[in-house]
Structure 1
């Protein structure tokens, strides 16, 4: 169930995908809300269990203290830098890597086609926040605040982005993105940084797809 639920912010497995039809706006928003909720609950549970276990003296890192929700002004600069880096890399790959462009477009069509402009905020921010809560706010500190943990969690993040029309090129991209967010989490010790960066990058990617698809039509 979790493998099906954890998807890139704009890309979910919907029953309509199997019949090559475009899911309705309601179906997309419901899928976004439910899957984001499940992911967020998983992240909260892991953080809470690790906190209790740490307080009881178990050799487990307290995820809630290792990665907090603190925010400093320099974090805003880091968020802006991450948005520019990720969005620029995505744009370049879409222009130079046909397999990645085809994979991204096929999956985006299934989710974004039926949405209204304001809906993009929902499908960008809800998954962006929930995925970072689980991956960078729970799994990363649980495995350890080190490069090995960053690589492991980012690889898991990438593998779980396969399917719904996405090929291995998309999984490679998701792994790279997960690595960048993991590095930012270690650098800032703040969950707000990857959450904000992830959500804004989702929004930029969705709006870019909407704009370019209109031009192509």
Structure 2
């Protein structure tokens, strides 16, 4: 079975109405169709980003970073998993590298999970939960345990809710990247003191 993905927008020789018409004809022929919209990914225009989105980003950074900090202090299994992941990725980095390492996964993971998979399954609570569970499962391995995957699932729910609330992945991308940066900075400062 093939899945054809048509982008709603001017991403090719066809305008959005032609893409939707082709999608309709293909779906009538029994082919599965996923319509990904640039309007969903980044809003219908650049003016859609509002001040409350910045407030939401900061709130998400505080929520996720505070939650991570509490888990690090109260859950040895999570602390072990987090330490293993951080040691694997962050040990040899220079300070500027933390910015790159924070933003690359923050942007790419949000493109995949909240930008592609969420619209594919439908922007609703069951899909947010399913995509968050997939996000959590993919955070297993490399020394990370189930507690880390459960945490990643919770974070995926938070980013999924932000995506539904704003109809854009921009807020989730920014919050995810900034949370990675905060976590990396805290890890670096605590490990350099413990040497």
TM-score by length of 2: 0.82
Q: How many residues were matched structurally?
A: 171
- Aligned equivalent of 1:30: none
TM-aligned CA deviation for residue 65 of structure 1? 4.7
Matched residue of 2:99: which SS? helix
Closer, same or farther: CA 112–49 of 1 in aligned 2, 3 Å? same
Gaps of 5+ in 1: 1-45
Matched, 1:131 2:104: no
Structure (1 or 2) with the larger CA radius of gyration:
2
Matched residue of 2:5: which SS? helix
Match of 2:5 among 44, 49, 72: 49
TM-aligned CA deviation for residue 60 of structure 1? 4.2
In 2, Cα distance between the equivalents of 1:83 and 1:152?
23
TM-score by length of 1: 0.74
Gaps of 5+ in 2: 9-18, 44-48
Contact conserved, 2:140 with 2:148, CA < 8 A, in 1?
A: yes
Structure having the higher strand fraction is 2
Q: Which has the higher contact order (CA 8 A, sep 6+)?
A: 1
TM-aligned CA deviation for residue 63 of structure 1? 2.2
- Aligned equivalent of 2:36: 63
Displacement over 3 Å in runs of 4+ = 52-55, 58-61
Q: Which runs of structure 2 are paired with 1:11-30 in the superposition (5 Å)?
A: none
TM-aligned CA deviation for residue 68 of structure 1? 2.7
